[in-house]
A and B are shown apart, each in its own frame.
Chain A
Amino acid sequence: MSIRSLLIRGVTFLGGVYFFLKFVLPESTGFATYHEQISDGFVLVGAMALALGLINLLMVHGGKVLYRRKGWAPSVALLVGLIAMMVVTSLDWRETRKISASVQRITTLKDFADRIVLDASKGIVPEIAGEKLPPTVRKRYLLDALRPLASDLHTERQTLLLVVAEDSRASNLTLQRFNNEFSSALADTERLLALEEKQGEDFEPSGLQQLSQALSTLGVSFRGLSTAVYGESLVKHLYSFLFEGLFISLGAAMFSLLGFYISAAAYRAFRVKSVESVLMMTAALFVMLGQIPFGLWISESLPEIRLWLLEVPSAGAAQAIDMGASLAGLVMAFRMWLSIESESFK
Chain B
Amino acid sequence: MGGFEHATPGILVLICLLIGPVLYYIRIARQGRDLYVRRIAGVDAIDEATGRSAELGRPISFSTGLTSITPALYACLGVLFYVARKAARYNSKLLVPQNDPQVVAVVEDTLRDAYRTEGKPELFDSRSVVFLSEDQFAFAAGYMGMVQREQVATAFLFGVFAAESLMLAEAGQQIGAMQVAASLTPEQVPYFICTCDYTLIGEELYGAAAYLTREPIQLGSLYGQDRAKLVFVILIVVGVGIATYNSFAAVYGMAPLPNITEWIRVTDWSFSAAG
> Are A and B a genuine interacting pair, yes or no?
yes
Report A's interface with B, CB cutoff 8 A.
Answer: 23-24, 26-27, 49, 53, 250-251, 254-255, 257-258, 261-262, 264-266, 268-269, 317-318, 320-325, 327-336, 340-345
Contact of A24 among B7, B19, B77 (CB under 8 A): B7
Q: Do A327 and B228 have beta carbons less than 8 Å apart?
A: yes
Question: 16 A-B Cβ contacts within 8 A?
Answer: A26-B269, A269-B194, A317-B186, A321-B189, A323-B232, A324-B203, A325-B205, A327-B232, A328-B75, A329-B70, A331-B206, A332-B74, A333-B71, A344-B77, A344-B78, A344-B213
Q: Do B12 and A24 have beta carbons less than 8 Å apart?
A: yes
Secondary structure call for the A interface: helix
In Å, the complex CA distance between A341 and B77 comes to 12
In Å, the complex CA distance between A337 and B95 comes to 30
- Chain B residue numbers with a CB within 8 Å of A23 are 6-7
Name the distance in Å between A114's Cβ and chain B's nearest Cβ.
36
- Chain B residue numbers with a CB within 8 Å of A262 are 166
In Å, the complex CA distance between A268 and B194 comes to 6
Number of A-B contacts (CB under 8 A): 137
- Chain A residue numbers with a CB within 8 Å of B108 are none
Task: Decide: A318 near B217, CB < 8 A? Known: A332-B206, A342-B78.
Answer: no
Q: List CB contacts (< 8 Å) of B205-243 with chain A.
A: 205-207, 209, 213, 215, 217-218, 221, 224-225, 228-229, 232
Q: Do B202 and A265 have beta carbons less than 8 Å apart?
A: no
In Å, the complex CA distance between A342 and B77 comes to 11
- Chain B residue numbers with a CB within 8 Å of A254 are 137-138, 140-141, 167
In Å, the complex CA distance between A332 and B72 comes to 8
Flag whether B191 is at the interface (Cβ < 8 A). Answer: yes
- Chain B residue numbers with a CB within 8 Å of A268 are 194-195
Contact of B166 among A261, A332, A333, A341 (CB under 8 A): A261
- Chain A residue numbers with a CB within 8 Å of B137 are 250-251, 254-255
Minimal Cβ-Cβ distance residue in A for B269 = A26
Name the distance in Å between B244's Cβ and chain A's nearest Cβ.
16
Flag whether B107 is at the interface (Cβ < 8 A). Answer: no
* B 64-97 to A, binary, CB cutoff 8 A, 1 in contact else 0: 0000001110110110010000000000000000
Contact of A329 among B72, B110, B166 (CB under 8 A): B72
Minimal Cβ-Cβ distance residue in B for A21 = B7
In Å, the complex CA distance between A150 and B225 comes to 71
Q: Identify which of A24, A265, A318, A328 gathers the most chain B CB atoms within 10 Å of its CB.
A: A328
Task: Decide: A345 near B186, CB < 8 A? Known: A24-B12, A261-B170.
Answer: no
Contact of A328 among B190, B203, B269 (CB under 8 A): B203
Flag whether B22 is at the interface (Cβ < 8 A). Answer: yes
- Chain A residue numbers with a CB within 8 Å of B140 are 254
